[in-house]
């Protein structure tokens, strides 16, 4: 196996790893959306249960509003992770240019170099997309945690007022 073949295999393997990472991030984002929905329902049930039939205090209402906002923001961050995006694969036009008759007579190492360079560009693009997805997911997790903490504060405030 030549050095070019080794590089080609390396880039191909890295591309598979990045695509698997993106799929994992998208799965976790779906979990954030599901858990945020459950947390909003739980938050409203707890506040209702602890209000004991009386109106919520102003501070509890504000905290419930803030908590709901954080949970909504966590859903938004998770949705951004799963937004449909342009495919980072090679477009058919560039492949068609590569199979032009002039290229058929070129030595195979030149074709291998072009293929590795194309895969590397796809890898770079996929990796950048994965980084953006990871940031959105981390923000969604943070908002969800802030939402839970604020909801807990609303319940405690309601109990002691």
17-61 pLDDT, tens digit per residue, is 999 999 999 999 999 999 998 988 888 787 777 766 677 888 888
**Which of the residues in the chain have pLDDT under 50?**
none
The confidence score (pLDDT) of residue 132 equals 93
The confidence score (pLDDT) of residue 98 equals 62
Q: Give domain limits for the chain.
A: 3-159
The confidence score (pLDDT) of residue 96 equals 67
Give the global pTM: 0.80
Angle, in degrees to the nearest 10, between helices 58-81 and 3-51: 160
């Amino acid at each position: 196996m030549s050095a070019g073949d080794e590089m080609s295999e390396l880039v191909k393997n890295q591309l598979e790893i990045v695509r698997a990472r993106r799929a994992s991030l998208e799965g976790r984002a779906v979990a954030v959306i599901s858990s945020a929905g459950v947390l909003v329902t739980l938050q409203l049930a707890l506040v209702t249960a602890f209000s004991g039939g009386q109106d919520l205090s102003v501070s509890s209402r504000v905290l419930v509003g803030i908590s709901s906002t954080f949970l909504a923001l966590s859903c938004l961050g998770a949705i951004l992770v799963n937004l449909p995006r342009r495919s980072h694969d090679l477009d058919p036009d560039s492949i068609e240019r590569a199979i032009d008759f002039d290229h058929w007579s070129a030595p195979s190492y030149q074709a291998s170099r072009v293929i590795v360079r194309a895969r590397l560009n796809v890898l770079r693009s996929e990796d950048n997309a994965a980084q953006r997805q990871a940031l959105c997911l981390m923000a969604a997790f943070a908002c969800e945690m802030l939402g839970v903490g604020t909801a807990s504060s609303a319940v405690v405030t309601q109990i002691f007022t």
